[in-house]
Structure 1
């Protein structure tokens, strides 16, 4: 964890050198003339501060849709980032949480348009000062915007401090810088020491057989074991090292009828993947949005739901123990609160982590959510949640980010969002990645750029695609391969080049002395020493952060 934090600080400075555009951003001036305004509410100065001596206090709101704000001069087409600290002074009766939103008012030809740009849906008074923020690209022909706070009940009073609004500057050299980081972060030195070599004609082949940085994909549990889908299976086994079952481990699928869990389909698929040497993520134990939980839960009271949750964990872990590397614990919990609302447990996300950790201590536990990387409406809220859990000692290992995007996502914006989440100091996995684009060249270019950014980020440990074959994929135009034979398209060929060649070490070196020095991408290796083309020694080793010294001793 310390390494990750230091790496982020060194490689991703907190300030991008842009000028502060807000007036009185820290509220140290008690005069709000010409800076902050409170339409339909009362703004006063408070000594309850996050930074410095003062903050802005908002009371007497006339309705929930208005609050503190400021108008800022901007440039069309440019991207800006806003951040501030907010503390709720009270909770409205009947609310478990409040949603602290940030909105932008755009005025074009006298007409106002209000855009929600940030959501913080699980904010409570007991959280104290919490960070809120967003990034925003200004539409054409717009030179002023108003940024303002909205909280879902007008009875809630709050204070704001430490605000900032700056331009996010585009880095034209981002890709060369990213490739330099890849070489620094993802590679390590290899030293081979040969003993008892006699004569000449020796070569050593250093072949990487596995990558420390994870490359994977979702798979269909039935198709990955059905022989009729051999091309689908072969593409996966040849080009990915991690798998995740799309639906087969979800609660509605594993227990459609209460008390009758059916995990055979999922367990068969997991075992098939592991038999081929693949690692598997568990997706997901709980999910609380829409109809993502078993329908029969509706007939249960709160204590019965809690008991059913414990039974579900025990049923699943008893069949999967030791076979899964990760679990997504409470999927998309910033977008659904079914289990909070139906059990009355405000901190049930934390409880879920403890329950699963107690059932299987060796598995790594994750949050997993969307609107974090593309779009970015909950980026800051997600970072805040992960940081609070980490600081509370919850057994959370990492942060799962869903990234379903298109070929036009601004790479600087994506980097900013990754940096923001990485401030929590936890490993990041891109758990669901798609680039939805019908133009194969545009898709290939965007895929390469985003994978390069992910690979270059010190907090990111792996990327899993959310499908690859156009016949079995969630978003059709994100496929890497098509047709009966699962033939790679341009984007697929670009991925294969990155996975097999660009970010893979495979070299043959002539041995002219007792030592060979090289470097390679971190992971598993096979070393073959040959003399005049004939193998004389084969060894296996793993290359990690500190490099590897391999001794090759001949009789």
Structure 2
């Protein structure tokens, strides 16, 4: 089945639910009994996203002024709200505006906030922007109020094509996910055998590498430390992709430079020449073992060397160019990916300090020019484990893609626990997949003290990721309790790095459930099989002795392997 069709079919499931908003498309010019504009004026406009009319929100009196509607809901259920918004003007001195969606409940006459979502990078030149949120209604709530809000009261805006629908729970989700895995992750194998002599032949088809990426973050120090053999062995036995947890970050390579010079200056406030020795030693060791490495990260708006804070706009831009050139000159040809601007929806340092609203686009273009072959990513949190910025993240990816920026894929950080609802997680993946770009789960942890709950949650989420047609890989954010940000997220524990229940569940998925090992007796000259896409070794045995070994790669459409004996 076509991947894009599958993604769109997922979305259609939600869109097929009954619309609960009144006048959702604003085609009626009467707002009585449907939309309420709190401390503002709502009227009709012919500038529409869909249909003939939209709503124009003006004469806002204060920060809390905004368009709202109250909807009757069923307690305990999950719902999705979305709308399309277009800013008509910008407040003085503002580069962006944050369009917020608030979900409130009314209990005993008092409003209480249930949830909210942000779209923090909206401008007039953004045109129509989708905003939205998914959330669960508490068991004691039967109606909620949805409100759109922009903090600056002088900003007028349009709203169109709104929707509020039930997000239905699918009790058969796992069976459906496993069916999708068999459909989109496997392909047919045909082995043509020539010059057989007699009987007693066997074909062994052994997968040696998965096309779907299974990886983990690693410590740049421990992965090359001769005293950390157990740590290294667990990693190399169970993962095929890696990312250095910290060692390639700008702040770290500057501090390593100072320490390498045995300087007593503050490593975070004084610039030195970047020291790339530690990360490159680790990268080279990983690649020597056949492990592919992601680059994390070139820029990060909330974690920067402090010395760049005082730079003027033009000096900062030049410093950014220098940083890219310094890093790429050492990493060129060694990394598969770069996270270009980490978590920029949560920290827009470079926009604010350069004065360039489109600096993210420039970052992608600069890195692409420095190394055209590396795949470039966004990377963000609170877009899968929470729904706060899911829609905003999709919109950012769509904007970069439509602008022709060399954006390969969308990185999703999913730091969660066993309570993350699969229905919500699937919706968020589907929403981000609407951008039409590959998705990588770049940072995945299940922070859970109960090992049984952690194992089950890890299996369920990994199954969902593996089954989603847009997802190309999953990297854990660490695996050992001796080197991991969240101790209860570890898959292995103790000085011998022994797998716990969650670790054993992961190993079962990686080595058995989603791995192909087939042995077939030869009864003719053609052998048929089906396998997970990836790299393979084919062994032909005659009366138990290997007489031919051949390697091949299995991708979409399958592979026919011809063996001459």
TM-score, L = length of structure 2 = 0.96
Once the two structures are overlaid, the 10-residue window that deviates more, 54-63 or 496-505, is: 54-63
Q: Is the 8 A contact 1:192 1:549 kept in 2?
A: yes
Inter-partner Cα distance in structure 2 for 1:105 and 1:10: 31
Q: Is the 8 A contact 1:101 1:116 kept in 2?
A: no
Other-structure match for 2:434: 423
Choose which of 276, 279, 284 in structure 1 pairs with 2:292.
Answer: 279
Q: Is the 8 A contact 1:16 1:168 kept in 2?
A: no
- 1:248-327 map, 5 Å: 248-256=247-255, 257-289=270-302, 292-327=303-338
Inter-partner Cα distance in structure 2 for 1:309 and 1:236: 34
Determine if the alignment matches structure 1 residue 389 to structure 2 residue 400. Answer: yes
Change beyond 3 A, Cα 1:44–1:135: same
Counterpart of 2:446 in 1: which secondary structure?
Answer: strand
Inter-partner Cα distance in structure 2 for 1:285 and 1:514: 53
Determine if the alignment matches structure 1 residue 232 to structure 2 residue 231. Answer: yes
Inter-partner Cα distance in structure 2 for 1:479 and 1:301: 43
Q: Is the 8 A contact 2:10 2:430 kept in 1?
A: no
Other-structure match for 2:485: 474
Deviations 1:482-518 (A, max 9, x none): 0111111111110000000000000111111101001
- 1:435-474 map, 5 Å: 435-474=446-485
Choose which of 537, 552, 555 in structure 2 pairs with 1:544.
Answer: 555
Counterpart of 1:13 in 2: which secondary structure?
Answer: helix
Counterpart of 1:362 in 2: which secondary structure?
Answer: coil
Other-structure match for 1:57: 56
Other-structure match for 1:484: 495
Deviation at 1:10, TM superposition (A): 4.1
Deviation at 1:63, TM superposition (A): 1.0
Unaligned runs of 5+ in 1: none
Inter-partner Cα distance in structure 2 for 1:283 and 1:43: 46
Q: Is the 8 A contact 1:104 1:147 kept in 2?
A: yes
Deviations 1:408-440 (A, max 9, x none): 111111010000000000000000000111111
Inter-partner Cα distance in structure 1 for 2:205 and 2:346: 47
Deviations 1:222-244 (A, max 9, x none): 00000111111100000000000
Change beyond 3 A, Cα 1:527–1:497: same
Deviations 1:333-358 (A, max 9, x none): 10111001111011000000000000
Deviation at 1:3, TM superposition (A): 5.1
- 1:482-521 map, 5 Å: 482-521=493-532
Count of residue correspondences: 551
Q: Which runs of 4+ in 1 moved over 3 A?
A: none
Deviations 1:295-349 (A, max 9, x none): 1102311111111100000000000000000000000010111001111011000
Other-structure match for 2:73: 74
Determine if the alignment matches structure 1 residue 401 to structure 2 residue 400. Answer: no
Other-structure match for 1:179: 178
Determine if the alignment matches structure 1 residue 337 to structure 2 residue 336. Answer: no
Counterpart of 2:138 in 1: which secondary structure?
Answer: coil
Counterpart of 2:205 in 1: which secondary structure?
Answer: strand
Counterpart of 1:299 in 2: which secondary structure?
Answer: coil
Counterpart of 2:361 in 1: which secondary structure?
Answer: helix
Inter-partner Cα distance in structure 2 for 1:298 and 1:159: 37
Deviation at 1:208, TM superposition (A): 0.2
Determine if the alignment matches structure 1 residue 130 to structure 2 residue 126. Answer: no
Inter-partner Cα distance in structure 1 for 2:342 and 2:76: 34
Once the two structures are overlaid, the 10-residue window that deviates more, 58-67 or 316-325, is: 58-67
Deviations 1:76-100 (A, max 9, x none): 1100000110000100000000000
Counterpart of 2:454 in 1: which secondary structure?
Answer: helix
Q: Is the 8 A contact 2:87 2:127 kept in 1?
A: yes
Inter-partner Cα distance in structure 2 for 1:46 and 1:7: 36
Q: Is the 8 A contact 1:16 1:169 kept in 2?
A: no
Q: Is the 8 A contact 2:135 2:387 kept in 1?
A: no
Once the two structures are overlaid, the 10-residue window that deviates more, 54-63 or 410-419, is: 54-63
CA RMSD of aligned residues (A): 1.1
Once the two structures are overlaid, the 10-residue window that deviates more, 247-256 or 109-118, is: 109-118
Counterpart of 2:506 in 1: which secondary structure?
Answer: helix
Deviation at 1:11, TM superposition (A): 5.1
- 1:61-140 map, 5 Å: 61-140=60-139
Deviation at 1:45, TM superposition (A): 1.5
Deviation at 1:116, TM superposition (A): 4.3
Deviation at 1:53, TM superposition (A): 1.1
Deviation at 1:119, TM superposition (A): 0.3
Deviation at 1:258, TM superposition (A): 2.4
Q: Is the 8 A contact 2:3 2:469 kept in 1?
A: yes
Deviations 1:18-71 (A, max 9, x none): 111000101111111110001111111111111111111111111112200000
Counterpart of 2:297 in 1: which secondary structure?
Answer: coil
Q: Is the 8 A contact 2:101 2:147 kept in 1?
A: yes
Inter-partner Cα distance in structure 2 for 1:537 and 1:139: 63
Inter-partner Cα distance in structure 2 for 1:218 and 1:62: 49
Other-structure match for 2:161: 162
Q: Is the 8 A contact 1:83 1:131 kept in 2?
A: yes
Counterpart of 2:17 in 1: which secondary structure?
Answer: coil
TM-score, L = length of structure 1 = 0.98
Other-structure match for 1:30: 29
Other-structure match for 2:267: none
Deviation at 1:532, TM superposition (A): 1.2
Once the two structures are overlaid, the 10-residue window that deviates more, 45-54 or 228-237, is: 45-54
Counterpart of 2:229 in 1: which secondary structure?
Answer: helix
Deviation at 1:457, TM superposition (A): 0.4
